[in-house]
Structure 1
Amino acid sequence: MSYKVYLSGEIHTDWRQQIIQGCESRGLDISFSSAVTVHEASDAAGDGLGAEDKQFWRDHKSAKVNAIRISNAIKNCDMAIVRFGDKYRQWNAAFDAGFCAALGKPYITLHDDCLIHALKEVDGAAQAWATTPEQVVEILEYLVSDS
């Protein structure tokens, strides 16, 4: 069975690479998609629509352009992995999790114990909560295996 997995959330660590490499090393038939993970490029996604004097309007344009990519990726995936890091608040990841829930799209949250309380509703709608990329790989292996 082939799977399409959307990787959402925190962009400051290599968790995406760990999951992708873990799946590749096990020979899993999984394709991955993601939002743009270079912060500066994501912030500039709407700059082609014209310069703005106020940061709000630059962010607004870029958020809308980014939403095209993200909403299509979530709609077209079989499931999502939503990573919350402890260094920054990932409001976008919480939004992605809510979008998945609204679409009935399964998702797994990935975060440390310190965020359990803050993410209780997000985790409550998830199909699983993992604390390491390796746990995510194990779940994905189970999902795509024939046995």
Structure 2
Amino acid sequence: MHWTVYLSGEIHSDWREQLEAGVKELNLPVSFTSAVTNHEASDAAGDLLMENENAFWRDHQSSKVNAIRTKSLIEMCDIAVVRFGDKYKQWNAAFDAGQLAALGKPYITLHDEKIIHPLKEVDGAAMAWAKTPAQVVEILKYVTTA
């Protein structure tokens, strides 16, 4: 079986690249998908529809355009990794985790120990909690080749 892994969450570090490199090194049967990780492009996704000077409506419009991609990729994935960084609040990642849970899709959370408490419900529905991308690669190795 070839596995599709959806990557959700924090966009300001190289965790995605670390996962991709680890999976490639082990030659695992895994492909990755993700939301748009270019912050400016994501924020402007709805601008083609109409210009909005009101930040709420600009964000609202762009979030819906972005949701076309994220909703589709979440529905098509076999498993997901939901990354929470410590610098920003990734509300979108928490929302993705909720969608994954509602759809019965297994997911792994990836975050530091410092934010265990605020993520207790998200972690509660996860199949695993990892602290490093290397741990996620080991989980993917086990579930795809065991």
Q: Give the aligned partner of residue 23 of structure 2.
A: 23
Q: Give the aligned partner of residue 108 of structure 2.
A: 108
Q: Give the aligned partner of residue 74 of structure 1.
A: 74
Partner SS, residue 48 of structure 2: helix
Q: Does 1:86 align with 2:86?
A: yes
Q: Give the aligned partner of residue 119 of structure 2.
A: 119
How far apart, in 2, do the equivalents of 1:59 and 1:31 lie?
Answer: 30
Deviation at 1:39, TM superposition (A): 0.2
How far apart, in 2, do the equivalents of 1:48 and 1:14 lie?
Answer: 29
Q: Does 1:12 align with 2:5?
A: no
Unaligned runs of 5+ in 1: none
Deviation at 1:138, TM superposition (A): 0.2
Using the size of structure 1 for normalisation, the TM-score is 0.98
Partner SS, residue 80 of structure 1: strand
Superposed CA RMSD in Å reads: 0.5
Deviation at 1:108, TM superposition (A): 0.3
Partner SS, residue 80 of structure 2: strand
How far apart, in 2, do the equivalents of 1:127 and 1:90 lie?
Answer: 19
Q: Which runs of 4+ in 1 moved over 6 A?
A: none
How far apart, in 1, do the equivalents of 2:59 and 2:94 lie?
Answer: 18
> What amino acid maps onto 2:4 in structure 1?
K
Aligned length: 146
How far apart, in 1, do the equivalents of 2:110 and 2:6 lie?
Answer: 13
How far apart, in 1, do the equivalents of 2:117 and 2:125 lie?
Answer: 14
> What amino acid maps onto 2:108 in structure 1?
I
Q: Give the aligned partner of residue 39 of structure 1.
A: 39
Partner SS, residue 27 of structure 2: coil
How far apart, in 2, do the equivalents of 1:20 and 1:138 lie?
Answer: 12
Partner SS, residue 33 of structure 1: strand
Using the size of structure 2 for normalisation, the TM-score is 0.99
Deviation at 1:57, TM superposition (A): 0.6
Q: Give the aligned partner of residue 140 of structure 1.
A: 140
Unaligned runs of 5+ in 2: none
Deviation at 1:53, TM superposition (A): 1.8
